[in-house]
Amino acid sequence: MKIIVCGAGSVGRSIVSYLVKGNNDITVIDNNQKRLDDLAQEFDILPVFGSASYPSVLEKADASRTQLLIAATDDDEVNMVSCSVAQALFNIPRKIARINSREFQNPLWSTLYGDKNIPIDLVISPEEEIGKYIYNILKIPGVSEAHPLVNSKLYLIAFKIPENSPFIKVPLLNLKQIDPDLDLEVVCINRRNNIFIPYKNDFVEYGDEVYILTAADKISLTMSAFGAEHSAIERLVIFGGNAVSRCIGRMIEKDDNIISCKIIEEDFKKADQTARELNDTVVIQGPMMSDKILSEAGIYGADATVAVTLEDEDNLLSSLLAKKCGVKNTIALVNSPAYNNLVDIIGNNILVDRSSVTISHILHELRRTEVRNAYSLGRGFAEVWEIPLDADSKTVGRSIKSLDLPASSKICAIIREEDTIYPSEEEVLQAGDMLLLYVESVSIRKVEKILA
């Protein structure tokens, strides 16, 4: 697919880092030559210098042969004009725009976007999505990922197996015999950076990161059964005052279970803006590494910290410092894939990958089969898709085994009317089914061909 990405900042870069994993022809437009040069050195892209809203620049980027434009600059107006020019002059079929302003996101103006007005097919707000993602993790203490599926009826959660788990070395087929109330599917296991789909006679080991599909109302039961349940989070400290932390703050202010949230921001203007936008959240202006500031923020009594500054190093250092202060749950936002190799050193700090969260909300635009909802897992090692089957689908009436899916993919569940089925290979697919499919990155193209 030929794709134009407008903007080489942190959001644009995170999108590009994911898109290059597929068979995509990517052009990046930016008016900052250094950012373009840095991106071109790291990824196989065509850099184009200039404003993404200028017709001549889009023409230079070969817009007339482009299937998808993603306008992800830091300027909402530039992104909207880019989409308008892309439609009016180059007839680009699909257009996605990053919109940050809460004014433009107001549901009252939802009719602003569409063929009759501003031709944007999908509006994304990466900062808002990252904030919601982190809030979901905070609400399920102990998980490293939490993805709602099928209108939040099911969740795909990830957590590490603790040393005292009663299920260590127990074959997966025996789990329900030990605990009859369990109703789940172990989707995949990450064992020392080796990711695999387990068979029923496989088992979990101490330190494994397991991805489990379960009903929303069974999450607590599932984690408790595995010995991975944590205490609820009541006191939170956030490092960084920006759009992400403000999103988290707004949700926490509506949450009666989290009784204290404090944000530390060194820059006076950012701290002032954050304080103005939030009502009941304490904003502390000062250096994040200062003992005095940390003490004022209540770091020694905090249940969790979240580090969401624009600098990966600051986020990781803040999380490691919080661990030293006795904080059990620490979350750090990272942009660079270079930190994938430091997971063991970073320890139990939860890393939130900006590119995976951002790309999850446009995956259905990228895939060559009908996908209603999708998530990128971990740091992009796999995806999970919601796939609706209608009467015209070529998979209807066939067994899962007959589809000949790659070994690195799996139909984890079928939602049939009100029932959730964790199917065997002999299960026959029916019209109206909703499939939940796990597919590792290396098999995406093959699975798309099978299901297209």
Q: What are the respective helix, strand and coil percentages of the chain, to the nearest 5?
A: 35, 25, 35
The CATH code of the domain at 362-451 is 3.30.70.1450
Q: Which helix (H) or strand (E) holds 81?
A: helix 76-90
> Mean pLDDT per segment of 10 residues, for the chain of length 452 residues?
94 88 90 95 95 97 96 94 96 93 76 84 91 95 94 96 94 91 95 93 95 96 93 95 95 92 96 95 95 95 95 92 93 76 60 88 84 90 94 92 95 95 96 96 91 84
In CATH, the number for domain 142-225 is: 3.30.70.1450
DSSP 440: E
The pair of structure tokens assigned to 182 is 């369990």
Domain parsing of the chain, residue ranges: 2-124, 142-225, 235-358, 362-451
The C-alpha atoms of residue 438 and residue 271 are separated, in whole angstroms, by 41
Are 212 and 378 spatial neighbours (Cβ–Cβ below 8 Å)? no
H or E stretch covering 446? helix 444-451
Residue 74, C-beta contacts closer than 8 angstroms, at least 6 positions apart: 7, 9, 11, 100
Assigned superfamily of 235-358: NAD(P)-binding Rossmann-like Domain (3.40.50.720)
Residue 292 burial by CB count (10 A; 0-12/13-18/19+): exposed, middle or buried?
A: exposed
Contacts of 268 (CB under 8 A, 6+ apart): 285
Residues 135 and 252 sit within 8 Å (Cβ to Cβ):
yes
Residue-wise DSSP of 138-204: HHSTT-SEEEEETTTTEEEEEEEPPTT-TTBT--GGGHHHH-TT--EEEEEEEETTEEEPPPTT--B
What is the model's pLDDT at position 344? Answer: 47
Query: What is the structure's pLDDT at 309?
Result: 95
Predicted pLDDT at 316? 92
- Can you tell me the distance from the alpha carbon of 139 to that of 234, in angstroms, rounded to the nearest whole number? 10
Residues 6+ apart with CB under 8 A from 189: 195, 196, 198, 202, 204, 208, 209, 210, 211
Virtual torsion, Cα 377, 254, 128, 444, nearest 10 deg: 20
User: What is the predicted pLDDT for the residue at 24?
Assistant: 87
The answer to whether the CB of 358 falls within 8 A of the CB of 7 is no
What is the model's pLDDT at position 338?
62
The CATH superfamily assigned to 2-124 is: NAD(P)-binding Rossmann-like Domain (3.40.50.720)
pLDDT value at residue 23: 78
Which residue reads 């599917």 in tokens? 185
Is 362-451 the same fold as 142-225? Answer: yes
**pLDDT of res. 159:** 95
Query: Strands 350-353 and 373-377, how do they pair?
Result: unpaired
Q: In angstroms, rounded to a whole number, what is the distance separating the alpha carbons of residues 183 and 222?
A: 8
